[in-house]
Each structure stands twice: as structure tokens, then as C-alpha cells.
Amino acid sequence: MIDLYTWTTPNGQKVSIMLEEVGLPYRLHPINILAEDQFDPAFLKVAPNNKIPAIVDTDTGLHLMESGAILMYLAEKTGKLWPQDFPTKWRVVEWLMWQMGGPGPFLGQVHHFVKFNPGKSTYAEERYSKEAKRLWGVLDRRLAEVEYVAGDYSIADIAIWPWISRFEWQTVDFANYPNVKRWYLALAARPAVRRGWDVLKEGRAIPMP
């Protein structure tokens, strides 16, 4: 059994989508980051960085924070969505790390400055909006070459997709990124993605371009 500590954000949705894809049983522990649940000392024991997502695997006793590490752990535990043949394995790691270092932090800053704090820093709004478009361009060029970012559907797609699902906050126009659109719609049609995206089972619909 996996205990999942999460909230309705892209980093959290990555893990619930993965759990739904691989079919592992899990118990949901909502951590309302707007109510500062993430600073509860009990949560700190599971997630020393005070951020969601985190898991505890009752089979192994391991607790784990950081969504990229959790995706790799669940993939290795189940033998799914992370091909282990050399060097294919590293193409998946490459795009997973790209998400962790690029779309995660930078699209997060677009949400922060453009969506929630407009007018507070023109410099930050311009800088992060420009970076958002650059990152979307990188993804679009990659997806012009391959069906999924690392070839076959993998944890790399699961890491990136929830960030793209917040496109309405990111000052981008899907019309300029046709390959991202094709890929986005393909993942949005997957029942496991739909279930995992609506992690708190609120009946919310995935935004459609």
C-alpha cells in the first residue's frame, strides 16, 4: 500500500497519475498547501522539504519526497513506464530531469507572477513568460520527432503533462505548438490520467485547448 500525501497541483498530480497508471493501491492524504498543512511537524517527518508530493510505501517502509524520485521509485517497483534497457533508460531520465529543472520551477514562476501577482514585477513577468514560451518550443520540437517525449509513453510524459495542463495560466497559445497539442490530447484521453489529475476526486474536468 502506498500512502500518498498530495494536493491539486502539477507536482502532486504526477504521482497520482502514475499510481493510477500502474494500478498500485494507495491511500490519499490531502495536504492543503493553502492552509499550510505542509508545515505540520507530522508531515515534515515524511517530507523534510515541507512540500508535496510525498509517499510512504508500507511494503518497504520507505518514505520519499520529490516527485521525480517518486516516479522513478514507483516505476522500478512495478517494472512499468521506465524501460530499463541501456541506453533507452537514459532518454527517459533526460526528459524527466528536464521537467524537474525547467517546466517545474519556471512555469511555477509564471503562475506566481503572471497569474497570481500581476503588476508586482514587470521584469519577472517578462522573464518567466519568455522562458515559458521557450520551454513549450523545446517540447514542441521534441514531439515533432517522437510520439512521446522519450519514445514510448513513460514517467517522463507523466512528469511534464500536468504542468502543460495549466496552460491557461502560462501566456502561451496552443495554436503555436501543434505537436504539444497532439500529445496533450492523447494523454488527456487516458482514463488513468483523468483519474490521477482529479486527485481529490472533485469531478473537475481537464482543461482542453
In the complex, the residues that contact ligand GSH under the rule CB under 6 A are: 9, 11, 33, 38, 50-53, 66-68, 104
Of the two residues 53 and 102, which places its CB atom closer to ligand GSH in the complex?
Answer: 53
* Residue 76 region by backbone torsions, left for phi larger than 0, else alpha for psi between -120 and 50, else beta: alpha
Residue 94 identity: E
Of the two residues 94 and 173, which places its CB atom closer to ligand GSH in the complex?
Answer: 94
**Shortest distance in whole angstroms from residue 12 CB to ligand GSH:** 6
Q: Can you tell me the distance from the alpha carbon of 23 to that of 208, in angstroms, rounded to the nearest whole number?
A: 25
Of the two residues 147 and 168, which places its CB atom closer to ligand GSH in the complex?
Answer: 168
Q: Which residue has the CB atom at the shortest distance from ligand GSH?
A: 51
* Residue 56 near residue 46, CB atoms below 8 Å: yes
**Shortest distance in whole angstroms from residue 107 CB to ligand GSH:** 11
**Shortest distance in whole angstroms from residue 6 CB to ligand GSH:** 9
Distance (Å) of CA 144 to CA 139, 141, 161, 182, 183: 9, 5, 16, 10, 10
Torsion over CA: 123, 127, 128, 133 (sign): positive
| Helices and strands (H and E) in the chain: how many | 9, 4
Of the two residues 112 and 181, which places its CB atom closer to ligand GSH in the complex?
Answer: 112
Of the two residues 50 and 78, which places its CB atom closer to ligand GSH in the complex?
Answer: 50
**Shortest distance in whole angstroms from residue 176 CB to ligand GSH:** 26
**Shortest distance in whole angstroms from residue 171 CB to ligand GSH:** 19
